[in-house]
Amino acid sequence: MSSAAPFAFRACAMTEPGFFPVPDAMTVAEIAVLTGAASASEAGADRRIRDIASLERAGPDDATYCESRRFAGKLKATRAGVCFVKPSEAELVPEDTVALVTRDPHRAYTVLGRQLYPTALKPRPIGAAGVVSPHAAVDPTARLEDGVTVEPFVLIGPGAEIGRETMIGAGSVIGPGVRIGRGCVVSSSVTVTHALLGDRVVIHPGVRIGQDGFGFIPGGAGHLKVPQTGRVIIQDDVEIGANSTIDRGSNRDTVLGEGTKVDNLVQIAHNVVIGRHCLIAGNVGISGSATIGDFVMMGGGVGVRDNVTIGSGARIAGASAVGNDVPAGETWGGFPAVPVETWQRERKAFFRLMRELPPMSAAGKKDATDG
């Protein structure tokens, strides 16, 4: 039998694609004006920057950023042409790198990235924009404004209305009577029913909007299903991450306020009302009839009990379980969630107690000296 490996990979002449158009170069001076950052020296103002990259990967044609001294080692070793830094880190920037000083380096870097890569800000059509595919099924009573893109295998139901410059991705379903505003993106394999969407809403692949909420009355003879007769209202500039689910209301509408951003794999149950400009990270689950104020931030994996109210400006640490109302502006964490100061005291007390307990033997019993 041959000793050669049973499988071998053949080298091939596959090219490495770039998925976004090559950006136009900008001078350091232009970048400073765009971002509001100040150059630490007059040298290098005419240097041309063509791309963005991380500290360790950036080269002489790239811009990068450093948020804190935690990354001082990477900052000192960077080969970037430009680096956004806070005033306290400007002295750490290598001699061959132009330091652009700003109070918020990550924001400045993001402003530059948006300028260089505008097409990366939302999903784009696979085919030609502004075209209704002949392989889509659009009900004759549906109304589409000019410039709507409908990709293959889309189904648009009776009476649906879609505003101009909106894209409906391949394989998506838009239910009867649904309203979708202007400049929206509905990515591939999305279902939208019983819903009204504002302008510039971005929905990533696999999202489900408007399906039944989970409502049942338990009983000895079986569980009685509660009719879900409400809607989903999604206001302007909301973004919803891939494979998230938003149930329609039962006795009130499910609402997402303007500017709110929802990560991937988030469950929002029936009757939930979420305010404006909230940030909700992945794997969050919000139970029915919860009310979330404006500018609330939730870390990944947070669970929120039904009928809980979280006040505006509150922050919930990742993996917390919220079972009680959270006052506006407070930071809570833990399982169950409590004010962050209480949570930290509890954790310290727990670890102190663990240190004070007598050691355990290999068999899992206390040492004999403990009696």
Residue numbers annotated as active site: 270
CA–CA dist 77, 195 (Å, integer) = 52
> 365 forms bridges with which residues in the sheet?
none
DSSP state of 4: S
Contact 288, 269 (CB under 8 A): yes
Picking from 181, 189, 180, the residue whose alpha carbon sits closest to that of residue 243 is 189
Give CA separation, 257 vs 134, 233, 273, in Å: 35, 8, 8
Residue in the structure block whose two tokens are 């209704």: 132
Q: What is the dihedral of CA 286, 314, 121, 80, to 10 degrees?
A: -130
Checking DSSP bridges between strand 167-168 and strand 155-156, what pairing results, if any?
A: unpaired
Rg, the chain, Cα only? 27
Picking from 157, 151, 139, the residue whose alpha carbon sits closest to that of residue 185 is 151
Contact 367, 358 (CB under 8 A): yes
> 279 forms bridges with which residues in the sheet?
261, 297
CA–CA dist 300, 316 (Å, integer) = 9
Contact 194, 212 (CB under 8 A): no
CA–CA dist 100, 3 (Å, integer) = 59
Number of other residues whose CB lies within 10 A of the CB of residue 12? 5
Cβ neighbours for 149, distance < 8 A, ≥ 6 positions apart: 125, 127, 128, 129, 130, 131, 132, 166, 167, 168
Number of other residues whose CB lies within 10 A of the CB of residue 24? 9
Chain-centre distance for alpha carbon 7: 40
Residue in the structure block whose two tokens are 């993106």: 185
Residue in the structure block whose two tokens are 């990068």: 64
Q: Which helix (H) or strand (E) holds 190?
A: none
